[in-house]
Structure 1
């Protein structure tokens, strides 16, 4: 099933360090929480998640690079003093809708020609005229139905 949405929040705020609850976090989860808190805090303070005064865990979070789209994986391996796992282009197929299709759609629809703009304006006017014609034709039929005999007597 994987990780649930917002599951990382308890690690960001140090919940595994709280030994007063009944959740009983493992030693690995406590270390992961400490690292994640350090990453988030350092990023907020220095715009760099690796910034540490004691150089502990230095340069674990690599700079984002295009087109590889490499990212750090926040998993149990963070708790072992190993180089953390890195992934690349996670869910790129889902992101391509926003990165590829939407910009193409916006580009294709943003610069319409002057002729197309004029045609759209004239078509709107045509639609309004058809509505007016329909209104008056309906009124004509009502009058004809109401006064039909009088009109026929006048003609014939």
Structure 2
């Protein structure tokens, strides 16, 4: 009977010791999964920031070429937008959340329509149409600033 008891105790100890190892392995798997998820998010942020720089320059070149009289206004609108985005990032770090449902649905539809039209105009390479739509793009950007500035004001109330 003694060898049977020894066997039971040994099995019991192995099971008891195995549980923390299993939990540790599971935690390690979660850490690796979280690390992969974090790295993926960082990659997306990096790509977005890189593309954003290119798009800003692209728009600036289009304005400079087709509507040079609007270039300073365009640059100022973008400075304001960057300030708004910076403030939003700061507030997000403070744990504040934004209620994007406050943004008017009509504005979203207008935004989508103008950008689709802009894409088609640029695709066609029609200089006259590009010249005509750039003020709409600029006004849309002004409206974006107003909408998001209002969102920030409402957050601080």
Q: Which range, TM-score by smaller chain?
A: under 0.3
| Structure with the higher fraction of residues in helix conformation | 2
Look at both structures and tell me which one has the larger radius of gyration over its CA atoms. 1
